[in-house]
Amino acid sequence: MKVSREEKQLRREQKRALQRDRQEKRRQVLIIFGAGGAAAVAAGIPVVGVLLAPALTPSQTAWRAVGKVSDFQVGQTTEVKFRVADAREGQGVSSTVGAWLRRTSESRFVCFQMNCTHLGCPVHWVPSSELFLCPCHGGVYDQTGRNVAGPPRIPLRRHAVRLVGDTVEVQAQPIPLPGLNGPGLTGSDQRGAGS
């Protein structure tokens, strides 16, 4: 069977038309996926910004007076209250946090955040046993803030303490959020004032 010249020409044109259709469909798919990818990236940028902002923003701190040196007895642990570092006017009590201040010697103090390192519940100082107890899940810390029982895996976080004349000052941090304000003890705040 002999194929005429016109039939060959017709088949070539059909083949070219089919190739053009395939190329057009590929372009359309690439355009759709490219536009979808660009939209996903554009929508994801703010999300990534929100997630990375705490890590990229320098932590704000401020020194807050909590009392006179003579207000605290050696060997005693006392609850103190002060405003967080990022406090704003009009926030009232929501900008105030508590902490446990322990006077370890005539010139040394250590200050523990009041929040359990497990899930952030407030810990209570029990003088008779010299332990910090978390009522939520049974976390127990000794007088140095070291975790000794229960689910907490790290010690109580500490605030840096300094003496300015006869005033005790604590370095306030932003509102404490477990896991977001850094792990455990850091730098010089492990030693307390006067070390």
Return d(Cα 183, Cα 134) in angstroms, integer. Answer: 18
Instruction: Tell me how far apart the alpha carbons of residues 162 and 1 are, in angstroms, rounded to a whole number.
Output: 104
* Rounded Cα–Cα distance for residues 105 and 192 (Å): 11
- Residue 108 pLDDT more than 90? yes
pLDDT in tens, 126-184: 999 899 999 888 899 999 999 999 898 999 989 999 999 999 999 988 765 544 444 44
Q: Hey, what CATH topology would domain 62-190 get?
A: Rieske Iron-sulfur Protein (2.102.10)
The set of residues, in sequence order, having a beta carbon less than 8 Å from that of 93 and lying 6+ positions away, is none
Residue type, 149: A
* Beta-bridge mates of residue 67: 168
Query: What pLDDT was estimated at residue 1?
Result: 63
What would the two tokens of residue 132 be?
A: 């910090």
Share of the chain above pLDDT 90, in %: 32
Residue 163's pLDDT is 94
Q: CB-based contacts of 121: which residues, under 8 Å, 6+ apart?
A: 115, 134, 135, 136, 137, 139
Beta strands in the chain (DSSP E): 62-68, 77-83, 96-103, 109-113, 124-126, 131-133, 140-142, 147-149, 158-159, 161-164, 167-172
Q: What is the DSSP letter of 173?
A: -
Mean pLDDT along residues 50-71: 80
The overall longest dimension of the chain from CA atoms, in Å, is 116
- Which residues lie closer than 8 Å to 126 by C-beta, 6 or more apart? 132, 133
List, for residues 16-46, the tens digit of each pLDDT value: 888 888 888 888 888 888 888 888 888 888 8
6 falls in which pLDDT band (50, 70, 90)? confident
Q: Tell me the pLDDT tens digit for each residue of 61-76.
A: 889 999 999 999 999 9
Res 177: pLDDT? 53
